Structure 1
Amino acid sequence: MTTIQTKKELNEEFKNVKYILTSSMRIKLLLAVYENSKNLEELRKELKKPSATILHGLKELENINLIKKSQKYYELTSNGYLLTTNMIKLIENWYSINRNKTFWNNHDLTDIPEEMLKNIYLLKDVEYENSTTSDLSNAFTKYIKLISKSTELQIILPIYSENHFKHMIRLLNEEKFKKIELIVSKRILKSIKQNTDLNNALLKNKKVKINCIEQDLKVFLTRSNNFMSLSLFFKDGLYDDSQILIGKDENAMKWALNLFRFFSD
């Protein structure tokens, strides 16, 4: 995707994509027959448009091999199905980004792998939490409440935070956790080893597994048995503890697991 040849090809294909996206009728027709084939009457009732308008749009899509007619029913071709699937993904990605645009706009995304950014639609149902001037610890408090109800944790920990460690150790001592898996940089691991209390409570605890990586990441991810959360760094390099995304649905959990595995494998 970085070669000159590929960029030229992408520019050419953009003309075809633009042809689809600049017509609401063409988009609606593709979405209407995405899961089931439909006849003209069904399309007219669903789209609330006259037959002539619908037939014109169908003819345009037939001409570029995205829709075909079988008997009296219209259905997607294989090309149409592939294009519509990715168009839905684009729409959901756009929705996901726009729904939490304050969070995404304010932070450094460079350490989130490209493939994960392409699948940001999986986070479309997460909730945005932020601290306020009247409650500076709101985001952190909600985070601690969530891990307190968890039994397993997978964490990409990009900061050395005694406050986070304190709660983690407390919950370990209370036998709340079955397992904790941490991904930390060499710098942070060195700091943990130099702190006798942390060294004893974490490194010598059989329930805790620590994966050490070379780089200092700018992603704070937590995935448990019942939630995921994501917080990031400002673009100036400072960690932002005032804003957090929290998800509990299957898609958000899947996204978090894939990100954790990316850095742990």
Structure 2
Amino acid sequence: MNSFEIYSEMEDNLQAIYRSRLLTEILLSLNENSRKLSQLREITGSTSQAIIPKLRKLEEDYIIETKGREYCLTPIGKIVTSEIADSFATVGTINKFKYFWSTHCMEEIPISLLKEIGCLYNSKIFHDRRTKILNVYTNQLKTIKEAEHIYGISSVITEGYADSISEKVKEGVPVELIVPFHVAEELKQSPYAEKLEVLKSYNNFQLIYNNEDLKMGLIVTDKRLALSLYKRSGIEYDITTGLFSSDPKAIEWGERLFGYYKTHSEVKLHGNYAL
């Protein structure tokens, strides 16, 4: 049975939830914690007369149950409500940053993580402006400076970026950096070759080679996520726009994105670091 056939069969059940603002608010509220009727009234702004029939219907469907004087989700209810919450977060993140997504190349983000893009809802888009030249770059360097550990994917390299990474490595901060082929070639040239030579004795630094032409820039630290993408054409890396977040969900999402490319990269050892 395909998705269309499932929808046709379950249409009434689905619409019963999504068409009812009050029903959805009750479920999302209970997804956070168990609630008393008085708390549900306060959260939804509705009367007991309006809420109670919804609660009875949810109990009949074994979506919620009562424990003492509180309503809570059943195991089935937790599954249903979690999917509802995720769908809202996904649509919300797409709409909130629609211009960013529509003008940049998203193909480098694996489908498994695109499905979890709702984790980025509590993010901000930074732009370079006439009054804030290099705003994105400055905030990327700030993200590195404040980090206690760093995971990165670098599609471009600058001396400022290289110096910031080197400084953190020398401080003893664990750093793992993935670079595509063209950046690896640049790192063999001056002044980067000399900087890497200095880092050969540091076991807290790993440079990982990826044979693909990665179209993104990623910095994930214990405190922050910074994500930059190529423009929609896939030719030009956009250094003037970036997505930043300090939300733990966004940071975890960034760690999974880094982990995906680490798994799909070649590690070629050279001294005590990878190249």
Interval of TM-score (by shorter of Structure 1 and Structure 2): 0.7 to 0.9
Q: Give TM-score, length-normalised by structure 2.
A: 0.79
1:145-184 → structure 2 map (5 Å cutoff): 145-150=142-147, 152-159=149-156, 161=157, 164-169=158-163, 172=166, 175-176=170-171, 178-184=173-179
- Report the counterpart of residue 272 of structure 2 in structure 1: none
- Report the counterpart of residue 199 of structure 1 in structure 2: 193
Task: Give the deviation of 1:6 after TM superposition.
Answer: 3.3
Task: Give the deviation of 1:143 after TM superposition.
Answer: 1.8
Q: Which segments of structure 1 move beyond 6 Å, counting only runs of 4 or more?
A: none
- Report the counterpart of residue 256 of structure 1 in structure 2: 254
Q: How far apart in 2 are the matches of 1:10 and 1:241?
A: 44
Q: Is this contact kept in 2: 1:153–1:179, CA < 8 A?
A: yes
From 4, 9, 21, the equivalent of 1:8 is 4
1:92 aligns with 2:86: no
Decide whether aligned partners of structure 1 residues 131 and 46 sit closer, same or farther in structure 2, where only a CA change above 3 A counts.
closer
**Secondary structure, in 3 states, of the residue corresponding to 1:217?**
coil
Q: Deviations over 1:61-87 (max 9, x none)?
A: 344332345676544332222111221
Q: Mean alpha-carbon deviation: is it higher for 90-99 or for 66-75?
A: 66-75
Q: Is this contact kept in 1: 2:149–2:173, CA < 8 A?
A: yes
1:62-77 → structure 2 map (5 Å cutoff): 62-68=59-65, 74-77=71-74
1:21-32 → structure 2 map (5 Å cutoff): 21-32=18-29
Q: Deviations over 1:73-103 (max 9, x none)?
A: 5443322221112212222333333333332
Q: Is this contact kept in 2: 1:151–1:176, CA < 8 A?
A: no
What is the number of equivalent residue pairs in this alignment? 256
Q: Deviations over 1:140-189 (max 9, x none)?
A: 12222332333543211123x3xx24442366268456343211122331
Q: Give TM-score, length-normalised by structure 1.
A: 0.82
- Report the counterpart of residue 211 of structure 1 in structure 2: 208
Decide whether aligned partners of structure 1 residues 6 and 204 sit closer, same or farther in structure 2, where only a CA change above 3 A counts.
farther
For structure 1, the residue ranges without an aligned partner over 5 or more in a row are none
Task: Give the deviation of 1:242 after TM superposition.
Answer: 0.7
For structure 2, the residue ranges without an aligned partner over 5 or more in a row are 264-275
Q: Given residue 166 of structure 2, which amino acid in structure 1 is its aligned partner?
A: L
Q: Is this contact kept in 2: 1:150–1:177, CA < 8 A?
A: no
**Secondary structure, in 3 states, of the residue corresponding to 1:33?**
helix
Task: Give the deviation of 1:239 after TM superposition.
Answer: 0.9
Q: Given residue 186 of structure 2, which amino acid in structure 1 is its aligned partner?
A: S
